[in-house]
Structure 1
Amino acid sequence: MKKMLIAVLSLVVVPLALANETQNKLHDFAHHYFSSMVATQAPNATSKELEGYLALLTDDVGHSHLPYVTDDSRLPDGKQAMRQGMTFYLGAHTAYSAELLDVFVFNDSAVAIRYKNTAEGIHPQNQQAISYTQTMMEVLEMENDKVAVIRKYHE
């Protein structure tokens, strides 16, 4: 009887412990992702911060940022395309701050971060002053401990 009870309890307890461990791992990843992403937006950001962020992504990462970028298809050069786009804007901010508001974990396949950010600077393409405050939600679909798809939404 004791052996039967132990067997039944282990079938319940072990999966719960593994699920909790996965949730904690993704929660920690979300905080690391957020810190790395924020570092790329700083006025003094360099390719070092950019590469630290890009290291968290799969090579074929898909990315959407509605309403500006609507296609989140995963392409073989997804990370390279992000590197090129982010390098263009690197250092464009004269001031940047961000506050992580929420982290949501969805089983072992996705995590979402909600944050508020404020930025000022000069747009590198048209040389116009930019200034904004916004609340964003990023849904990160995970694959092999890296971000495979990023979906950004404005509140």
Structure 2
Amino acid sequence: MKNKLLAAYTVVMSLSLSVTAETETEIDLNAFAQQYFKAMVATQAPDATEQDLENYLALLTDDIGHSHLPYVTDDSRQPDGKQAMRKGMTFYLGAHTEHNAELLDVFTFNQSAIAIRYSNSAKGIHPQHKQAISYSQIMMEVLEMENGKVAVIRKYHQ
């Protein structure tokens, strides 16, 4: 009888811990989308700082995968994914003299994905070839989530 009670107690505790673990990782994806968009836009501002970049990167897994078609087509997750994004984004940090963005739509898919659609426009000087840049576009980013952070980013132009 003691063994049956112990077994029943173990099962109940396991289920309880499992449910608790699931609820701890669940987040409000709409709120996360707003936070993500605000942090991402801050990295594109003319006065963007390394702290703005770190605030954005804090929302990503260390092994983040990223594609931005047609420029970056491989979205494989790599152990140094966040470090590679930090290096690439630091190169362009502060390159804009003007930047505007507006969040148009947010779509959430259980706890696994977010899609954000936004318009943005920018002007500036490209840091490598020192030529003027100017663009206006509609973008969609699909964010695959893992344990409350973005694990894969897929960017698409309309």
TM-score when normalising by structure 2: 0.83
- 1:90-105 pair list within 5 angstroms: 90-105=93-108
User: CA–CA distance in 1 between the matches of 2:152 and 2:90?
Assistant: 20
Shift of 1:83: 0.1
| Residue 36 (1) aligns with residue 63 (2) | no
| Residue 133 (1) aligns with residue 136 (2) | yes
Identity of aligned residues (%): 76
Name the Cα RMSD after superposition. 1.4
Aligned-partner SS, 1:114: strand
Aligned-partner SS, 2:48: coil
Aligned-partner SS, 1:103: strand
Shift of 1:108: 1.0
Shift of 1:116: 0.1
Quick one: which amino acid aligns to residue 90 of structure 1? Answer: L
Deviations 1:58-108 (A, max 9, x none): 000000000000000000000000000000000000000100000000111
Give the counterpart of 1:50 among 53, 70, 87: 53
Q: How many residues align?
A: 135
Task: Give the number of the structure whose alpha-carbon radius of gyration is greater.
Answer: 2
Give the counterpart of 2:122 among 110, 119, 123: 119
Give the counterpart of 1:83 among 83, 86, 109: 86
Aligned-partner SS, 1:94: strand
- Structure 1: segments with no counterpart, 5+ residues: 1-21
Deviations 1:111-146 (A, max 9, x none): 000000010000001000000100000000000000
Quick one: which amino acid aligns to residue 82 of structure 2? Answer: K
User: CA–CA distance in 2 between the matches of 1:113 and 1:125?
Assistant: 29
Give the counterpart of 2:74 among 67, 71, 75: 71
| Residue 143 (1) aligns with residue 115 (2) | no
Aligned-partner SS, 2:71: coil
Aligned-partner SS, 2:119: strand
Runs (4 or more) in structure 1 with deviation over 4 Å come to none
- Structure 2: segments with no counterpart, 5+ residues: 1-25
